Amino acid sequence: MRISNEQVSAICTAAAQVLQESRFADQAVERQFKDHQHWTIAEQGFVAEQIYSLIRYYRLLCIVSGKTPVTIEDWEYLLGASLILQKHSAGAQFQFLSKEKILAAYHNIGDQRALRESIPDWLDALGQAELGDKWAATIHALNELPHLLLRVNRLKTDLPALQQQLQQFNILGTPIADDAFLIQQRGKLYSTPAFQNGWFEVQDYSSQQVAPFLQVEPGMRVIDACAGNGGKALHLAALMQNKGQIIALDTDAKKLEQLRLRARRAGVNIIETRVIESTKTIKRLAQSADRLLLDVPCSGLGVLRRNPDARWRLNSEQLNSMKLLQQQLLETYTKMCRPGGKLVYATCSILPSENHLQIEKFLDSGRTSFRVEASKTILPQDEGFDGFFMSRLIPT
């Protein structure tokens, strides 16, 4: 395979925008797709993969290429080095690079994990301190390419019908659970009638396990207190057979607007959105929820494979602030759970300090009357999906 000059420029430009201009990776990729709508699905996939590879392995590629990029031309050195390390045939195009020197530089890194896995030193030290002998396998798994998973919307269809519909557009996959469909041959998912008619949502399998963990039933009053753009709220609505009430809360009005649009497409009419403008929003809902979901803001380290730029954005100060926020949400938002109800605390983090240790601190504070009914930790190396944590609590 040969890479065109146009593709080289697009890959390097997008990577530079992320690492030098602090744009988000998915937005930079989408910008290139809009600017090059003549690309085929295969070309789009290749370009996106190489952009993410440059971002993911930025530190490593700087070392083996001998360049800390400033110009787009400098980024071409990193791209060439990346393709050589991938043993991609297109690496031969970059004749200004010595394949032997690139491979020798990589070999010389040896067992320096932070360099080989291309992460900041502070993150490597933190992962080792928190996960011990599990950290090496965890960070290696977080550098693998992410799977593309769909959740079938059972309010509109079932998995066999969705699979058959997508096959008509050469989008192939394998069912891995009742509602989860693993895409193996990608296509233009968002232009299919199945998407436009709300037959599915893109959602990783680990994330799909959160809503069932809340043990909802039709007719319940459920509060999703950190709803965002609503992936889990939509899943809850499907599990409730679109019967009952879901109150979706968030501090970001734009995200809730996205939720409303998604709910309309999915045929969901039991979700009410409310912007959290002050503590009064929470107080008005005191002891009113049969089920409460706290999918709290977190480091996002469990989804690092699909957000590789997060390793360069996150720092220890931000992480500490995030942990304080998690404690505040546990102390204040849990008051919305009624006696006899249940709540789930969830994160997309692999750090114990954001997960079960937060729950232990909350329970030991003396300001609560809950107990843990069940907890689940999902590490990315366990099943090959995102890292997640969930803990189900009940009032005592």
User: How open is the CA angle 185-190-193, to the nearest 5 degrees?
Assistant: 95
Would you put residue 294 in left (φ > 0), alpha (ψ -120 to 50) or beta?
beta
Annotated active-site residue in 12, 62, 298, 348:
348
Q: Please give the Cα distance from 278 to 94 (Å, whole number).
A: 56
For residue 282 the two structure tokens come to 């929470």
Which residues are paired to 247 by β-bridges? Answer: 223, 272
CA 354, 360, 361, 365 dihedral sign is positive
First-to-last alpha carbon distance for the chain, in angstroms, is 63
- What DSSP character marks residue 145? P
**Residues 205, 176: contact at Cβ < 8 Å?**
yes
- Kind and range of the H or E run holding 275: strand 271-275
Closest CA to 204 of 348, 374, 50: 348
Q: Please give the Cα distance from 50 to 61 (Å, whole number).
A: 12
For residue 18 the two structure tokens come to 């992320």
Q: Reduced to 3 states, what is the DSSP secondary structure of residue 209?
A: coil
- Kind and range of the H or E run holding 291: strand 289-295
- 298: annotated active-site residue: no
345 backbone dihedrals φ, ψ, rounded to 5°: -100, 125
Closest CA to 80 of 143, 89, 71: 89
Residue 66 contacts by C-beta under 8 Å, 6 or more apart in sequence? 77, 105
User: How open is the CA angle 385-240-182, to the nearest 5 degrees?
Assistant: 25
**Residues 58, 50: contact at Cβ < 8 Å?**
no
- Kind and range of the H or E run holding 256: helix 253-266
Closest CA to 285 of 348, 328, 221, 358: 221
Catalytic residues: 348
